[in-house]
Structure 1
Amino acid sequence: MAKRYSYVPAGGGQDYDWSADHTYVKVSAADTGGQYTLMEDNLKANFRLGLHLHRYHAETFYILEGSVDFYVDGDWMTAQPGTCLHIPPGVEHACVLTQGCTAGRMLMIYQPSGFDQYLAELGQMTDADFEDSAKMDALNQRYDIINIGPVPDRPAG
């Protein structure tokens, strides 16, 4: 009989080690019937997530370690451990490690699911695929990622 639950130990889950972060899928679309995906994202010193939005899914971030600056709907905020940020569909957002912070770790919930499948497709791509703007545009559209631009400049002070 198939298990009716999933168990992922510390350091476990499908992982994707990118140049700017190392992401672990803890609860996949398959585990939730497509309702949500839960991931642990380990941010590296050069982490920057450019300005984007999602038309159909929400994101929730819970900071575990480090300090992350978020730009959400025109506002800048610094998220410390214990901070929870929920971003509904249609809201522009970006994030970057806070200046002076060299690493971070956060849980991310995507609802409905799908981001884990996006990562799986990215994980199969070649360098040439990443350079093919038509291919990347189609992939982003399929997974509801509307890229707007780089991380906006944060005003001094």
Structure 2
Amino acid sequence: MTKRYSFVNPLGGTDYEWSADHTYVKVSAHDSDGHFTLMEDNLRSTFALGLHRHDHHAETFYILEGALDFHVDGDWVTAGPGSCLHIPPGVPHACVVNDASVTARMLMIFQPAGFDLYLAELGEMSAEELDDPVRMEELARKYDIINLGDVPGRS
């Protein structure tokens, strides 16, 4: 009989290790019938995600450890442990680890699901494909990631 639930142990789930973070998919698009994806992201001190938006999905971030600086719709917000930030579709955002000498850890919900599918495609790409800006932009747009530039400066 097929189980009607999923269970993931600590440090479990499909994982993707990148240069600045290590992500674990806790609830996949498959698990939620496409409604959402839940991920745990372990961020190194060098983590920085440039300005972007999603036209069709929302993101929610719950900070477990460390602190992140989010640039959201023109504002800078510092989110420490226990902070929750919800970003609806269409709102430009970027984030960086708050203190370059520490790491951070957060849970992320993407609604509807799909970001895990983006990571899966990235994980299958060759180094040459990952270095191809046209290919990377096509993949980003396929998964509703509209890149808008680098992390904005602080005024």
Distance in structure 2 (CA, Å) of the matches to 1:135 and 1:43: 25
The answer for unaligned runs of 5 or more in structure 2 is none
Shift of the alpha carbon at 1:130? 1.2
1:135 equivalenced with 2:135 (yes/no): yes
Secondary structure at 1:29 match in 2:
coil
CA contact 2:46–2:100 (8 Å) conserved in 1? no
1:39 equivalent in structure 2: 39
Structure 1 length-normalised TM: 0.97
Q: Deviations over 1:6-43 (max 9, x none)?
A: 00000100000100000000000000000000000000
Distance in structure 2 (CA, Å) of the matches to 1:100 and 1:28: 30
1:55 equivalent in structure 2: 55
Secondary structure at 2:30 match in 1:
helix
Structure 2 length-normalised TM: 0.98
Secondary structure at 1:118 match in 2:
helix
1:9 equivalent in structure 2: 9
Q: CA RMSD in A?
A: 0.8
Shift of the alpha carbon at 1:101? 4.5
Shift of the alpha carbon at 1:45? 1.1
Q: What amino acid is the match of 1:93?
A: H
Aligned residues: 155
Q: What amino acid is the match of 2:140?
A: N
Distance in structure 1 (CA, Å) of the matches to 2:148 and 2:105: 25
CA contact 2:64–2:82 (8 Å) conserved in 1? yes
Distance in structure 2 (CA, Å) of the matches to 1:102 and 1:53: 27
CA contact 1:66–1:101 (8 Å) conserved in 2? no
Q: Where in structure 1 do 4 or more consecutive aligned residues deviate above 4 Å?
A: none
Shift of the alpha carbon at 1:99? 2.9
Aligned pairs (5 A) from 1:4-153? 4-153=4-153
Shift of the alpha carbon at 1:100? 4.2
Shift of the alpha carbon at 1:138? 1.2
Q: Deviations over 1:58-110 (max 9, x none)?
A: 00000000010000000001001000000000000000011344200000000
